[in-house]
Amino acid sequence: MERYFQPEIETMERSAIETHQLEKLKWQVKRVYENVQMYRERMDDAGVKPEDIKSLEDLSKLPFTTKQDLRDYYPFQLLAVPKRDIVRIQASSGTTGKQIVSGYTRADLDQWATGFARQLVAADGDNTSIVQVSYGYGLFTGGLGAHQGAEKVGAMVIPTSSGNTERQIRFMCDLGSTHLCCTPSYAMYLGETVKEMGVKNRLKLKAGIFGAEPWTEEMRKQIEEALGIKAHDVYGLTEIMGPGVSYECRVQQGMHICEDMFIPEIINPDTGEVLPPGSFGELVLSTITKEGQPLLRYRTRDLCTLDYSPCECGRTHVRMKKPAGRTDDMLIIRGVNVFPSQIEEVLLKNSIEVSPNYQIIIDRVNNTDTFDINVELSPKFNGDVESEKKKLETQLRSMLGIGAKVHLLRPKSIVRSEGKAKRVIDNRKLHD
């Protein structure tokens, strides 16, 4: 069995986890009722007082929190502590609306570091590891989250941030990086460049920790092959905490949620109804230990299931399955629900002929949605382009239930991302 970062917490009995969660939930509900006007007003409207929370089931009595709330109460109205106690602000990219911010106390940062440290240890990291952090630094939570978690374990950190790919690879080779932390799309790009530079035999990488965007099992296989590593999925979100909310162990059958810090629920995204264990639905998280900007029943928009069965690694914290998509990433094209991850799954199954680099372009012509997918051909491709195009269009129609027009492009013609990949260009809003 692998070494644990905090065995006394990560292997707690279910009854002990729930006792801890209820104690912290009561504490947190009282705090937000007394210190956050939004929660006090909403709880009053719902006829709920802090003393009404007597069991974990009573969590469902509390109102949901949404991303729009963070925009409406921007920047500091959701703080549960005075601003003088906030030592760092992290923020979203703002690509889907007004930017949102999250405030952290010193204790919050320590807990966040703990979450990522658990992931690093689960990826066979320790104080002898050399961790290359190629997530972007700054307001985005990826870089600083991975950095502080690696330092907590006592590892050596190389804060390369994103960009300057050839230099990144030289550092990997020269400094002997054992762990790589970045987005999965950037890991794919690094793998391509490693092959071009002919330096794979110089790499000492053992594992990668990848998050911040959706990725498939097929993509995992390609990354592992390209870099010679074991690839781990890590989950986090700006509103709750950066990477380390949940993490993959060596078994890789879901990501263990840090249940000492968060209470997860699965709800019906349309009705808000709490669903029984094992159900597929929207993940909702409550921060039960966060001081600065605690959120109760936050709707993540990620669609997944929770697995409470025992894990072979020995950890007892519940596992969330890799999200199948996000309700706000879902595209509605000609009345059909489409997730980009479905398209990626088809392309990766054809990895000999095409690369996983693609862009979805949606527009509207004569009041009808157009649906085009640009895909790069593999450098190894030597077949008939028209036949390959028709094959992909048939497979995509079968997967999606809707036709798309595929455009096969020469290798490396789609701009590579050194951060989060921009997979979707939706021009329909230009016509609204």
Q: What is the pLDDT of residues 75-101, one digit of tens each?
A: 999 999 999 999 999 998 655 557 899
State which amino acid sits at residue 57.
E
Average pLDDT, the chain: 93
Name the strand (E) or helix (H) holding 182. Answer: strand 179-182
Q: What is the pLDDT of residues 249-272, one digit of tens each?
A: 999 999 999 999 999 999 999 999
Looking at per-residue pLDDT, the higher value among 187 and 349 belongs to 187
User: Cα separation of 341 and 229, whole Å?
Assistant: 23
Residue 231: pLDDT band with limits 50, 70, 90: very high
State which amino acid sits at residue 202.
R
> Has residue 120 got a pLDDT over 60?
yes
130, exposed or middle or buried, with CB in 10 Å at 0-12, 13-18, 19+?
Answer: buried
Q: What is the pLDDT of residues 137-196, one digit of tens each?
A: 999 999 999 999 999 999 999 999 988 999 999 999 999 999 999 999 899 989 999 999
Inter-residue contact 302 to 282 (CB < 8 Å): yes
User: Cα separation of 234 and 213, whole Å?
Assistant: 10
> Has residue 4 got a pLDDT over 80?
no
User: Cα separation of 412 and 428, whole Å?
Assistant: 27
Question: What would the mean pLDDT of 328-333 be, rounded to a whole number?
Answer: 80
Q: Supply φ then ψ for residue 344, to 5 degrees.
A: -60, -40
Question: pTM surpassing 0.95?
Answer: no
**Residues ≥6 apart with Cβ < 8 Å to 264:** 257, 283, 284, 285, 306, 318, 320
> Has residue 122 got a pLDDT over 80?
yes
Residue 380, Cα to own-chain centre: how many angstroms? 32
Helices H, strands E: what count in the chain?
11, 21
Q: Supply φ then ψ for residue 214, to 5 degrees.
A: -65, 145
The CB-side HSE value for 35 (13 A sphere, CA atoms) comes to: 18
Residue 3: pLDDT band with limits 50, 70, 90: low
335, exposed or middle or buried, with CB in 10 Å at 0-12, 13-18, 19+?
Answer: exposed
User: Cα separation of 299 and 283, whole Å?
Assistant: 7
> Has residue 1 got a pLDDT over 50?
no
Residue 31: pLDDT band with limits 50, 70, 90: very high
**C-alpha gyration radius of the chain:** 22
Nearest to 67 by CA among 105, 90, 34, 101: 101
Beta bridge partners of 409: 376
Domains defined for the chain, CATH in brackets = 1-327 (3.40.50.12780), 331-431 (3.30.300.30)
Inter-residue contact 12 to 310 (CB < 8 Å): no
Nearest to 144 by CA among 113, 111, 167, 171: 113
> Has residue 37 got a pLDDT over 80?
yes
**Lowest-pLDDT range, 125-129, 279-283, 401-405, 415-419?**
415-419
